[in-house]
Structure 1
């Protein structure tokens, strides 16, 4: 479903997604449209992050997961990657205290070994500072890929089988889930991708099995409170069946 602008009507509490995941796409195209450098586009995207985090926190979203840097993004021009790393470090240094003041917990998922020691240290400090916060959990996926996540989970399960802690017969969907990067959090209810692209790009592959998908034409730097609320309202109008029929859903609603 594509994004459409509408008035600021609050989303009904019962219709709010617990977990929203977003692929933040379009920074470079936004920059080109404004005759700016790609780095300027990424800086503008940070402001969109702030607006979306604030909106989700106000709307009662429990978990917000943002795809900041994929494992494939290392293929981008070296100058752009370096700028992204500096921007990431700057955000950790400057924005984490604001998250902490607003009772928001930060989690960072992905393979950290490719990042500099300084960046890894700041990641750990940011998570430690905010780990007891309860208003909302903000998950940043950095050097993350869905294939990587499933692979590392499978390796951990295999190690437990090898150590005699599990048998092959013990392995279920829940076993794999609990070994994923965010296996302790609710599955995403809503996944948003901006900039008109309609694919999941190796993002939370295991988790998106029953997630509602919402595609916006708006470039990420222009995706702010109004666009976020539109996405939440679109979600509130969906009927989630999880394999059941319309009649079963109707009977369940009547029985409540």
Structure 2
């Protein structure tokens, strides 16, 4: 979800306003996902690299995330949305982390849509964590290194109980993954949209789906 800052600067308003409008775009995206029958939606809300931003912007972002969690969570829960958190949410502080985990527990039985928020997330760090987990099992004598395969490493990642993404969408005209679900997206279709995230709406979601449906997915095989 890229372009909040550029959206704000182009309008001469504070960056925090761009983040507020980006929060509204999240609501539109979740609604569109449910309308299109999507089962899993992962939103890159805060990357591990975003900690390099100013303390003021990080504080504004954290406050906005807390606001939406407290004031929009009930709506998501009533719609059957299950909330998942991946990344290192503990870096946002104990209080916010408790709220996130409470929301995860409350929505655990919801089945209409699994919404994963990537918070303080970096795919390389996630992969390294999965490798460390397997290495600890080897050291403990409960795993033979020769038994480690791709499925085992996939299961060791934070997304281990979810399917790999079919489609990855990036907004704002940027054409890179920026450390997002690198392992999981090995065979995902990639769609890059010029729209800035605060302007993202149902029509943009539908456009990404249309592009995806036109792709021929072969997973390394020959076309039929």
TM-score normalised by length of structure 2: 0.98
The equivalent of 2:201 in structure 1 is: 224
Q: Distance in 2 between matches of 1:27 and 1:113?
A: 24
Q: How many angstroms does 1:229 deviate by?
A: 0.4
Q: Distance in 1 between matches of 2:27 and 2:87?
A: 21
- Which of 163, 172, 175 is the equivalent residue of 1:195? 172
Q: Distance in 1 between matches of 2:137 and 2:76?
A: 36
SS at match of 1:207: coil
Q: Distance in 2 between matches of 1:92 and 1:170?
A: 41
- Which of 200, 220, 237 is the equivalent residue of 2:214? 237
Cα deviation, 1:208-237, whole Å, max 9, x if unaligned, reads 111100000000001100010010011000
81-90 vs 107-116, which moves further: 107-116
The equivalent of 1:97 in structure 2 is: 74
- Is 2:61 the counterpart of 1:84? yes
The equivalent of 1:55 in structure 2 is: 32
The equivalent of 1:215 in structure 2 is: 192
- Which of 87, 90, 95 is the equivalent residue of 1:110? 87
Q: Distance in 2 between matches of 1:34 and 1:225?
A: 22
Report 1:108-147 matches (<5 A).
108-147=85-124
Aligned residues: 224
Q: Distance in 2 between matches of 1:106 and 1:95?
A: 12
State the Cα RMSD in Å.
0.7
Q: How many angstroms does 1:102 deviate by?
A: 0.3
Q: How many angstroms does 1:112 deviate by?
A: 2.4
The equivalent of 1:161 in structure 2 is: 138
SS at match of 1:43: helix
Q: Distance in 2 between matches of 1:159 and 1:45?
A: 40
- Structure 2: gaps spanning 5 or more residues: none
- Is 2:14 the counterpart of 1:40? no
SS at match of 2:185: helix
User: Whose relative contact order is higher, 1 or 2, with alpha carbons under 8 Å and at least 6 apart?
Assistant: 1
Q: How many angstroms does 1:113 deviate by?
A: 2.8
